[in-house]
Chain A
Amino acid sequence: MVALIAYIADTMTYVGIFGLLTISLNLEAGYTRLMNFGKVAFFAVGAYVSALLTVSGAPFLAGLVGGMLVAGLLGLLIAIPTLKLREDYLAITTIAAAEIIRLILLNENSYGLGPMGIRGIPKPLSGLFGPSGYPLVYMALVWACLIVWLLISQRIISSPFGRVLRAIREDEVATESLGKDVFLFKTKSLVLGSCMAGAAGSLFAHYTSFVSPDMFMPLLTFSVWTMLIVGGTANNYGAILGAFLIQMFERSTRILKDLVDMPSGAQVNLRWIVIGLLMVIFLMYKPHGVLGERKGKVTPR
């Protein structure tokens, strides 16, 4: 029973972390049409900054905020050369940036970086609760963070700022001609999304208490993309639903391995083949996902 509760808490912790990542991608891709193919970079930066800060003695909250800020800064750095150009240049640049970030984490030997990763990342509040109750506590912490960001995100989207983002998504030139600084709005969207991904990374690092470069492969980005596509683009509840569904699917392939005799690696390959197929099939037959964008009310004048 205790094991089952711990398993459910672990699952929901991951759903929360990936839900946050998917909401952040939704702000960028779903609402602003920013094709961020390097989500994992911002996630990794959040995780590593938070890990490095807390390992050297800073409190968890400082790690979380630090991870968010540095991830946001990375978003700003990528925004400058790419956001004035066509949307696919952002995709190529972010995918490249994610690889470079991973190379840095892998090849730098100072500051505790390198292939061995960082161990012993403190678990916040673990002193106050016993080991049996801790998974539930951490799950609550992750979901609290998710709900805070969800509220912020919903607020942003329904604000005039969010309307401009959606206008950019629909027609960039028309938005520009209405006097909006499209570049500035896109930059803000990317930086904000990057901060959210940084927060998710920090939550991830303090949960696993260990990070290493091979946890941040490009595949992780496409897992998040699949969550968004399946759950529903431009709908934050859809994004969280997608994170839940894909996380369930990934776990079921792990369970499948225990039930069916499979050669090692087969369940990983099978999982990614299905994820790739899901992306293509949803884009073809249900491009707005399970929950699509809800059309806003038009208030007559």
Chain B
Amino acid sequence: MPLNVLQIIINSALTGSVYALVSIGLTLVYRILKFANFSHAEMVASGAYIGLALNHIAGQSLFISMAGGFAFAGVLGVGSELLVFRPLRRRGAERISLMVASIGLGLVIRHSIQQVWGSRFLWYDLDTEVYVLKLGGAHATLTSIHIVMLVSAVLLVSLVHLFLTRTRLGKAMRATSDSPVLASACGIDVDRVLIWVWFLGAGLAGIGGVLRGADTRLVPQIGWETLLSSFAVVILGGIGNFYGTILAAYILGFAENLGVVALQSLSISTGYRPAIAFIVLIVVLLVRPRGIMGSERD
């Protein structure tokens, strides 16, 4: 089988786009509150399923699903902060307790989804067109959903960049992520900023879920499937480093797609695909635990 470089690059960009959207919230919360939030996976899943419900009601337009997934997952993220993580912190819980609690919260959300929608595969109802991209001698296929994925990832990441650098709230978020104590001393209402961090982070993960769900299929574990890769992205990019995370998302996307081709050519089961993120994770931990672009503290 000849190596279709063009197709690998396109697939990498698609995988990376989902990882980028999912990882932004994970890395921001990880940085500010200093705990690995395992319930983030369920923001992806809830976005995907709410998007599915809207798709089946309102039909065709993926944008309605994305907007709905963003809003619902965002509110769920804020809810988890207000109902679980903030009360726990107020009671002096350590960050490892927050991490364990995030597992418990994740179980509640995932099995609620499973109760409502069942555990079978479900699909978005979309008319997809298939395009063939020809570049030189290379052929690659991509669907209209893929184009939406690529465009919305670029658009959303740019918007988040502008938000973080140009707006008051965005600057307050960066200050809080650098040092909550100093930000608070500068008169920033850290609690209020945190609400927006949760809303934005979970909401983007929800959009990631809609895109992944529309491109593949839905199962209640859809978020859990991306979680390991997202942690690999977050650590590779440097915890709390927005630009590092985006870069790492596409690097991991490339590594996974290249890895799948490598597995096929070695006639090893492609069922091992999730192991690629694991290998990347271990290598990063051994060689450069602060990530490619570094996390400024800790």
Q: Binary interface profile of B, 217-235, with partner A (CB < 8 Å = 1, else 0)?
A: 0000000100010010001
Shortest distance from the beta carbon of B46 to any chain A beta carbon, whole Å: 14
Is A73 engaged at the interface, CB distance under 8 Å to the other chain?
no
**Known contacts A225-B103, A272-B107, A283-B100: does B87 contact A91 (CB below 8 Å)?**
no
Q: Which of B91, B96, B269, B285 contacts A85 (CB 8 A)?
A: B285
Report the Cα distance A270→B107, complex, angstroms.
10
Please determine whether B119 and A93 come into contact, CB atoms closer than 8 angstroms. Answer: no
Q: Which of A97, A103, A283 contacts B272 (CB 8 A)?
A: A103
Q: Binary interface profile of A, 105-141, with partner B (CB < 8 Å = 1, else 0)?
A: 0110000000000000000000000000000000000
> Which residue of A is nearest B298, CB measured?
A86
Q: Which of A91, A100, A222 contacts B275 (CB 8 A)?
A: A100
> Which residue of A is nearest B281, CB measured?
A96
Q: Which of B103, B106, B107, B286 has the most CB of A within 10 A?
A: B107
Please determine whether A99 and B99 come into contact, CB atoms closer than 8 angstroms. Answer: no
Q: Which of A85, A107, A225 contacts B100 (CB 8 A)?
A: A225
**Known contacts A99-B274, A103-B272, A265-B119: does B108 contact A277 (CB below 8 Å)?**
yes
Q: How many A-B contacts if CB must be within 8 Å?
A: 121
Is A229 engaged at the interface, CB distance under 8 Å to the other chain?
yes
**Known contacts A85-B289, A92-B231, A279-B107: does B101 contact A269 (CB below 8 Å)?**
no
Contacts of A181 on B, CB cut-off 8 Å?
Answer: none
Interface majority SS on A: helix, strand, loop or mixed?
helix
Is A273 engaged at the interface, CB distance under 8 Å to the other chain?
yes
Interface segment, B12-20, B63-71, B110-118, B206-214?
B110-118
Contacts of A218 on B, CB cut-off 8 Å?
Answer: 224
Q: Binary interface profile of B, 260-286, with partner A (CB < 8 Å = 1, else 0)?
A: 000000000101101101100110011
Contacts of A269 on B, CB cut-off 8 Å?
Answer: 111-112, 114-115
- Interface size of B by CB at 8 A reads 44
Report the Cα distance A85→B275, complex, angstroms.
21
> Which residue of B is nearest A33, CB measured?
B96
Report the Cα distance A95→B232, complex, angstroms.
12
Please determine whether B97 and A287 come into contact, CB atoms closer than 8 angstroms. Answer: yes
Report the Cα distance A275→B115, complex, angstroms.
15
Is B93 engaged at the interface, CB distance under 8 Å to the other chain?
yes
Shortest distance from the beta carbon of A244 to any chain B beta carbon, whole Å: 20
A-binding residues in B (CB < 8 A): 35-36, 38, 84, 87-88, 91, 93, 95-97, 99-101, 103-108, 110-112, 114-115, 118-119, 224, 228, 231, 235, 269, 271-272, 274-275, 277-278, 281-282, 285-286, 289, 298
Question: Given contacts A107-B271, A284-B87, could you give 11 more A-B pairs where the C-beta distance is less than 8 Å?
Answer: A89-B285, A99-B278, A100-B274, A226-B104, A268-B111, A269-B112, A270-B111, A279-B107, A280-B104, A283-B97, A287-B97
